[in-house]
Structure 1
Amino acid sequence: MSNEADFTEPARVTFRGYGGINLAGDSWGPQDGPLVVFLHGGGQTRHSWKDSGLALAKAGMHAVQLDARGHGDSDWAPEGDYTRGAMVEDLLGVLEQIGKPGFVVGASMGGLTGLIASAHPQHERMTGLVLVDVVPRPEVAGVERVINFLGSNPEGFASLEEAADAVAAYLPHRRRPRNPEGLQRNLRQREDGRWYWHWDPAMLGGRGEQIDMHTEALEDAARQLTMPVLLVRGALSDVVSEEGVRSFQALVPHAEYAEIGAAAHTAASDANDEFTDAVVDFVRAHVNME
């Protein structure tokens, strides 16, 4: 397989999700390359992976980046069904529609979806799993900080600059961009002229990103893992501690581990190049790229 093909822009793709909703995504790279499906965290979109799709495409891989139900350009669940089970069915359905098994890269909410899916009867649709700053036993204070941010500013923002200020306060380790225009991927301006995060607030109802509430089910899924696994942690993360990493490694002794020094919980966007290199190396180590 040649790795020299030029894939500078993704193809827009749509999949049928659980309950008949439409799931939006971007498809990068050669269709016959190793499949890598990206699942973002709560309140984010497929664009949170920045340049990962292009990098994987140049490496000869087929990257599919999804907007989760209720996020970005995907449909909002009409009955407010944002349960872990619904998201698992979305993922497995997407893999079935693509028609080949693939590696799943999941950050936070997306990582939990991938981990639970790995214990599903149809887990053979998954080739491997990359967990991005998520473990069965997270730090409660860090989780609460994520939930509080997702639930803040229900009244929206008067401008993109105001939204950028809120993000900068939430991510103090990251340099504030000079131009906030990029936030338009995550915001929508409504008729009242204000900007609102473009995800369904019902996502927080009863679950949201409360990843400390499902420890037993997550640990059971981790114990069953036999596929290749990579855990990526941001060294500055307040959600995944070194103790949390050790607990996960005790459950999954064969898991590989990568720590990104300049990154926090949002590891993939904090240090995208280093994160992407780790994913590419992991996939190459577990597939035949000839």
Structure 2
Amino acid sequence: MRTVKLRGADGLELTADEWGSPSQPGVLLCHGAGQNRHAWKKSAEILANHGRFVVALDARGHGESDWSDEEKYDSEDIGRDILNALERFPSPPAIVGASMGGMASLAAQRMTARQLYSALVLVDISPHFDVDGARKIMAFMSGNPDGFATLEEAAEKISAYNPHRERPTNPSGLTRVLKQLPDGRWTWKWDPAYVTSKPGFNTQNKDVLAEHMERVSRIMSEGLKATTSPILLVRGGQSELVTASAVRSFLELVPEAEFIDVAGTGHMVAGDDNDAFTDA
């Protein structure tokens, strides 16, 4: 594995981890909101061992990639970064997009007539996502703006939000998603503006926020319709974002797509059970 710097849109620099050689069939891994490239480590290693050239990307405002001073964090903005990242591959790779990464993958395909991917895997994201589930995710992400006194405190908050996920005995692994400030407190490795910049968020205007989510849904639907490569939807069995009804609507929109339900996992499927996700 090697860490590289890639050119994103708007002059931003993006950080990525790579496995294998560009001469091998490619896979681009795009994480969800609040995560970073480390969420894919086990999956990336398995794919590389199966002869794939794997790139796990830190999205703008996440991990070690640049933050957007202009707070450009819409799916189309991250989609433009994906278009740039694809230059790393000599031929269209398969793309795996979790939540935010899936939204951006579809936004990127919507921007061009050429087929960007050899295959598209969407991880717990669908155009017909549950709005209340999305609000719950945003509420968790915007909570604790002052960070955490200790890693143990952060682990307690995460465990309360994800009670179905087994709490690790050693919270040191959280340093993948948390950074320590000079005063000793711990805060997330992502730009809070990813959430707070959303229309209607700061005013808690539900109508404006709902209108924004409807626009995101439309962009995803149009991206799906523009995709002719094989499509797979992987849903967390306990997901509050992609409901059974959302799956039915997804398959009506793209009936040629395949669908897998990963039991015992929630919205963050790969993080909840990486082995089960990779097997799927």
TM-score normalised by the chain length of structure 1: 0.88
The letter for the 2-side match of 1:264 is G
Q: Distance in 2 between matches of 1:58 and 1:12?
A: 18
Q: Distance in 1 between matches of 2:119 and 2:9?
A: 22
Q: In the alignment, is residue 133 of structure 1 matched against residue 124 of structure 2?
A: yes
Per the alignment, residue 80 of structure 1 pairs with 71
Aligned match for 1:198, one of 184, 189, 192:
189
Q: Do the aligned partners of 1:29 and 1:54 also contact (CA within 8 Å) in 2?
A: no
Runs of 4+ aligned structure 1 residues displaced above 6 Å come to none
Aligned match for 1:272, one of 265, 274, 280:
274
Q: SS at the partner of 1:27? A: strand
Q: Distance in 1 between matches of 2:77 and 2:9?
A: 6
Q: SS at the partner of 2:85? A: helix
Q: Do the aligned partners of 2:26 and 2:89 also contact (CA within 8 Å) in 1?
A: no
Q: Distance in 2 between matches of 1:182 and 1:211?
A: 32
- How far off is 1:51 after superposition? 0.3
Per the alignment, residue 28 of structure 1 pairs with 19
Q: Do the aligned partners of 1:160 and 1:183 also contact (CA within 8 Å) in 2?
A: yes
Per the alignment, residue 145 of structure 2 pairs with 154
Q: Do the aligned partners of 1:27 and 1:65 also contact (CA within 8 Å) in 2?
A: yes
Q: In the alignment, is residue 164 of structure 1 matched against residue 166 of structure 2?
A: no
Q: Unaligned stretches of 5+ in structure 2?
A: 202-208
Aligned match for 2:39, one of 38, 48, 52:
48
Q: Do the aligned partners of 1:133 and 1:240 also contact (CA within 8 Å) in 2?
A: yes
- How far off is 1:97 after superposition? 3.4
Aligned match for 1:71, one of 62, 72, 79:
62
TM-score normalised by the chain length of structure 2: 0.91
Per the alignment, residue 172 of structure 2 pairs with 181
Aligned match for 1:59, one of 22, 40, 50:
50
Q: Distance in 2 between matches of 1:123 and 1:275?
A: 29
- How far off is 1:225 after superposition? 2.3
Write the deviation string for residues 219-243 of structure 1: whole angstroms up to 9, x where unpaired.
2222232111000001111110111
The letter for the 2-side match of 1:268 is A
The letter for the 1-side match of 2:198 is G
- How far off is 1:212 after superposition? 5.0
Per the alignment, residue 235 of structure 2 pairs with 233
Write the deviation string for residues 188-237 of structure 1: whole angstroms up to 9, x where unpaired.
11112110101111111126997554222222222232111000001111
Write the deviation string for residues 51-95 of structure 1: whole angstroms up to 9, x where unpaired.
001100111111110000010010111222112222111001110
Write the deviation string for residues 169-205 of structure 1: whole angstroms up to 9, x where unpaired.
1110001000000111111111121101011111111
User: Kindly tell me: are residues 148 and 38 of structure 1, through their superposed partners in 2, closer, same or farther at Cα, counting changes over 3 Å?
Assistant: same
Per the alignment, residue 204 of structure 2 pairs with none
Give the aligned length. 269
Per the alignment, residue 242 of structure 1 pairs with 244
Q: Do the aligned partners of 2:233 and 2:259 also contact (CA within 8 Å) in 1?
A: yes
Per the alignment, residue 261 of structure 1 pairs with 263
Q: Do the aligned partners of 2:75 and 2:216 also contact (CA within 8 Å) in 1?
A: no
Per the alignment, residue 113 of structure 1 pairs with 104
Q: Distance in 1 between matches of 2:88 and 2:42?
A: 25
Farther off after superposition, 238-247 or 80-89: 80-89
User: Kindly tell me: are residues 123 and 266 of structure 1, through their superposed partners in 2, closer, same or farther at Cα, counting changes over 3 Å?
Assistant: farther
User: Kindly tell me: are residues 212 and 273 of structure 1, through their superposed partners in 2, closer, same or farther at Cα, counting changes over 3 Å?
Assistant: farther
Q: Distance in 2 between matches of 1:97 and 1:61?
A: 14
Identity of aligned residues (%): 44
What is the root-mean-square deviation of aligned Cα atoms in Å? Answer: 1.7
Q: Do the aligned partners of 2:106 and 2:219 also contact (CA within 8 Å) in 1?
A: no
Farther off after superposition, 200-209 or 227-236: 200-209
The letter for the 1-side match of 2:64 is D
Q: SS at the partner of 1:25? A: strand
Aligned match for 1:144, one of 125, 135, 152:
135
Q: SS at the partner of 1:15? A: strand
